[in-house]
Structure 1
């Protein structure tokens, strides 16, 4: 497909599934947490309903649609388990270090995750120093993705107009949020969770500016128009 020539003033990266290959790990732990609460859900449905959403959004969906109210203790147990798994298994997205080294424009991270989870993910994978202090969480705004609040907050803090921002996202909710914010958006499909045709088709129907699955190609995609 033809790639539009985009010369952004700021690149806003999602974290999970874009900088770090965390989504398969997170969904695995979420399914275990739900099973402990009496709700059985397969991975495909969990990805479809929860990918890219904040913890507040996930708990609201569980309460409203499944009548499952996770207790504080259950959430804390799930968080502790997730952090253990991240420490042992989390890896950076292949090619992300090369991409960051070659980007010639400012960049930041804006994620649905809580600040401590974002920093843990970036620390474990050796990326924290590249982003600190430009790390923005859905906990900083009123509404998480697919609302545009988080990306607009990041653009404001980075002092770049929304129309000059490019968001790198892996989730439908994230693509919707970027478009609602009036930003360019590239859908990344190179994470461990993004290989399924259904996921890619869902992203394609949201009409991002481009879809790509090799993160190391990102700087070249910004410098000139090309064919993928």
Structure 2
């Protein structure tokens, strides 16, 4: 089956930005009295928006200010602006999918401005900005809204749509939207995906073998 549409998460799938992002969050929360390292942030918060983390921090009794999200994004952008690696083979996969008539889109719980920082150096922000969905604009995953909007724009059937994500939130969104799901674990996250019993890919070449006919 040639898919109508393949929807990609951004962080940890298209770009390997999870590490620097988690480091920035860990450093910030540690400064507010909640000591964390990269692995701790990934364990507690992977797939969540910064607004979710803000709420969770306050529920833990941290004195996070109202402007915490915007302040942390400023810190994060400074780190990400130094450059993050693109997942090997992702542009070739995009090209191959579009060559067979499959549409591509992005559905990320991160902000559009964050994707602008990480994707612009590779030409992918301009390429995909008209089919890019953010959990800061619509309901974040595991809600289905971003996936439904992407399918509507692409005139795609849920039965012929795939969601590629490294988080359980992405898996939940795929179930809610009635689409296929492939977990992505090139940069980590397998330990959270395996208990779901989902199909897991470990590279863009692995995805290509499943999605390009």
CA drift of 1:34 comes to: 0.5
CA RMSD of aligned residues (A): 1.8
1:222: which partner in 2? 211
| Bigger mean CA offset, 153-162 vs 111-120 | 153-162
CA spacing shift, 1:53–1:93, aligned 2, 3 Å:
same
11, 27, 30: which is aligned to 2:25?
30
CA distance in 2 between partners of 1:45 and 1:36 (Å): 15
Secondary structure at 2:181's aligned position in 1? strand
Secondary structure at 1:16's aligned position in 2? coil
CA distance in 2 between partners of 1:72 and 1:122 (Å): 28
CA distance in 1 between partners of 2:71 and 2:135 (Å): 21
2:185: which partner in 1? 189
1:144-200 C-alpha deviation (Å, 9 max, x unpaired): 122222222222233223232101101122112212221101111112xx0xxxx41
Residue pairs, 1:27-106, within 5 angstroms:
27-64=22-59, 66-103=60-97, 104=100, 105-106=102-103
1:144: which partner in 2? 140
1:110-145 C-alpha deviation (Å, 9 max, x unpaired): 10011111222110333223312111111232x312
1:72-113 C-alpha deviation (Å, 9 max, x unpaired): 444333211211111113111111112112112110101001
186, 192, 207: which is aligned to 1:202?
192
130, 135, 148: which is aligned to 1:133?
130
CA distance in 2 between partners of 1:154 and 1:60 (Å): 28
CA drift of 1:52 comes to: 1.3
Contact 2:27 2:37 survives alignment (8 Å)? no
1:213: which partner in 2? 202
Residue 170 (structure 2) pairs with residue 180 (structure 1): no
Residue 143 (structure 2) pairs with residue 157 (structure 1): no
Contact 2:23 2:37 survives alignment (8 Å)? no
Residue pairs, 1:102-121, within 5 angstroms:
102-103=96-97, 104=100, 105-121=102-118
Contact 2:54 2:69 survives alignment (8 Å)? no
TM-score by length of 1: 0.84
CA distance in 2 between partners of 1:153 and 1:113 (Å): 16
TM-score by length of 2: 0.90
Q: How many residues align?
A: 210
Asked which structure has the greater RCO (Cα within 8 Å, sep 6+), the reply is 1
Contact 1:86 1:124 survives alignment (8 Å)? no
Structure 1: give runs of 5+ residues left out of the alignment: 1-5
| Bigger mean CA offset, 123-132 vs 181-190 | 123-132
Structure 2: give runs of 5+ residues left out of the alignment: none
